[in-house]
Every structure is written in C-alpha cells, then in structure tokens.
Amino acid sequence: MAAPADGVQEKVLQYETFISDVLRTDLQRVLEQRDGVYEKIAQYLQLKNTIECLQSGSQQLKTEVDLGCNFHVQAHVEDASRIFVAVGYGFFVEMTHDEALRFIDKKTRQLTAFTELLTKDSAKIKANIRMVLEGLRELQGLSDEPDSRGRDVL
C-alpha cells in the first residue's frame, strides 16, 4: 500500500523540478530578452529626440564622446547634417536626419511588435506553470480554494 504514495511523491518531485528547472528559466530568459528589446527601443527614441534637436538648431554640434573605459573627450562637429545610425549586426549607415527619423520609426515599430510576441510567450509560460501547479495540487489532493496565507508563485 505504501507504493502508490511513493509514486505520487516521485511524480510531485518531477513536476516541481520541471517547474523550477525548465519553465521558470524559460520565463526568466523571455523576460530578460524583452527587457533588452525595450532598452533598444529607448535608445532609438533617445536618438530620435537628439535628431529633432539637431534639426531645430544649427548644423554645428559640441558633444562629449566616450573613447572607452570612461575616458571622455569633447568633440566639435562642423557639419551634423548627416549621421551614422546603427542598423544592426554591427553595421552603421550614414543617413540624413529625415532618413534616420524614418528608419527609427520603422525600427521601433518592428521592435515593439517583437516585444508583443515576447509578452505573449511569457503569458504562455506563466499559464503552463499554473497548469502544472494545478496538476500538483490534484496529485497531492489539496483543495481548490486558495490559501489566504499563501502568496502568488509568479
């Protein structure tokens, strides 16, 4: 008679391991990837604001440039009518301000669509976690009523 109880405990342990080793790490990876995309969007929007400021002012620019290892120097740009924009994979393209603004709009729309996909993926993973937890609750014979002292696991 003790064998079925041991089998249930073994299954419970397998499901708990699956939640912690697979589902939670997948969720963490997707959320970190989404945060990275949000960071890229913020950088493009910052560039857009800078370009709009350049368009309203003169074509000369004084700026501070990081040469690496937090070593900064002042730079003076005579003609800032064209800029280099990072387009991905380490490539930079020289663009006019209008070209850069159009590129930034397209790129931010693309990145926003990607964040929506990542958000849907994270919702699916959270649903899978809840489903496995519900299966664990059934295996252990626990009630469906939430514990008032408990906390949300997600």
CATH of the domain at 126: 1.10.287.370
Assigned domain for 48 exists: yes
Contact 137, 147 (CB under 8 A): no
CA 112 to chain centre: 10
The pLDDT score that the predictor gives to residue 125 is: 93
Say yes or no to pLDDT of 60 above 70: yes
Assigned domain for 41 exists: yes
Assigned domain for 144 exists: no
The pLDDT score that the predictor gives to residue 1 is: 45
Distance CA 52, CA 64 (A): 18
Taking Cα atoms as reference points, which of 30, 43, 31, 133 lies closest to residue 87?
43
Say yes or no to pLDDT of 48 above 80: yes
Say yes or no to pLDDT of 143 above 70: no
- Structural domains of the chain, count: 1
Assigned domain for 36 exists: yes
- pTM of the predicted model as reported, rounded to 2 decimal places: 0.74
Say yes or no to pLDDT of 2 above 50: no
Assigned domain for 148 exists: no
